[in-house]
Structure 1
Amino acid sequence: MTYKEKAQDIYNQIQQGNILGAFDQYYAENVVMSEPSGTREGKAACRAYEEQFLNSVQEFHGLEVKKIGSDEANGVVFLETAMDVTFKDGNRVNMEQVSVQQWEGDQIVNERFYYQNG
C-alpha cells in the first residue's frame, strides 16, 4: 500500500469505530504527536491521550476526509478532516483540522495537527 492508502485506511477504521486499533496498527513506538495544545512523545503517551479524548465523547456523528495528498518519495501524507462530535458535557462540536504525517515503513513516526484552538 502507498502511504496515502495507509492514511486512508486509518480513517476508514476510525469511521468504523476502530480508533484505537488503527492507532495500534499504524503508529510507531517512538511517535511524536503535536498540536496547538501540546506535544506528546512515545506511543504509550500518545495512546493515553487518545483514550482520554475518547472517554470525553458521548457520541460521534460523523467523520469526513475532505482532502488527502501525499509525497510518497518522502513518506509524507497531508489530510484535511472534519469531525462532528458530542462531548459528555453536552457540547456538540464540528472540528476541522489539517494533519501532516511522517511515515517510516508501515508506521507514522511524527504527526502534527493544525486547527483553530478554542
Structure 2
Amino acid sequence: MPTTERLEAFIVAVESGAHAKAIENFYTEDATMRENQAEPRRGRSTLVAREQATLDRTASVVSTCVRPVFVNGDHVVIRWVFDFRFKDGKAMRMEELAWQRWEGDRIAQEEFFYDPSQARPA
C-alpha cells in the first residue's frame, strides 16, 4: 500500500512532465500496463521505452491530476487530463482513469480507461 507521501510524490513527478522517469522510479521491475483492456505491456524497461517514444513525438505535455484520488489499500484510481502538443503542430487532449495496484511503494499493475476517439490529434 502506498503511503500518502509516496503517492503524492508520484503525482508530482507526472505533473512535472517526468513521465518516463516516473515509471523508472515508481513501478516494479515486472510491472504491467494496459489500455482499455488491450494486451498488457510487460516490464518496466518496456514501459519506459514506450513512454519515451511518445514523449519524443511531443513538443510539450501538460499533465493534471483531477482530484480526489481514490485509495483503497493497494488500489488507487487517478483521473488524469493530458494536453499534448506534438512536434508536427497537432494537439490532443486526453482524459482517462488510471487504475493501479501497488506492491508496497511501487506500482505493479496499471490499467487506463479512456474514450479512444480522444487519441486522434486535432
TM-score, L = length of structure 2:
0.83
Give runs of aligned pairs for residues 1-118 of structure 1, distance below 5 A.
Answer: 2-36=2-36, 38-60=39-61, 62-67=62-67, 68-72=69-73, 75-118=74-117
Q: Per the alignment, do residues 38 and 56 of structure 1 end up closer, same or farther by CA in structure 2, a change over 3 Å counting? A: farther
> Aligned residues, how many?
115
Write the distance in 1 (CA, Å) between the matches of 2:102 and 2:91. 32
CA contact (8 A) 1:7 1:77 kept: no
Cα deviation per residue 1:22-65 (whole Å; 9 max; x = unaligned)? 211110011010003642011111111111111111122x3211
Aligned partner of 1:80: which letter?
R
Residue 20 of structure 1 deviates from its aligned partner by: 2.4
Aligned partner of 1:24: which letter?
E
Task: Give the share of equivalent positions with the same residue, in percent.
Answer: 26
2:17 counterpart SS class: coil
Write the distance in 1 (CA, Å) between the matches of 2:78 and 2:105. 17
Aligned partner of 1:92: which letter?
A
Write the distance in 1 (CA, Å) between the matches of 2:112 and 2:3. 17
CA contact (8 A) 2:34 2:111 kept: yes
Write the distance in 1 (CA, Å) between the matches of 2:9 and 2:45. 22
Q: Per the alignment, do residues 69 and 40 of structure 1 end up closer, same or farther by CA in structure 2, a change over 3 Å counting? A: same
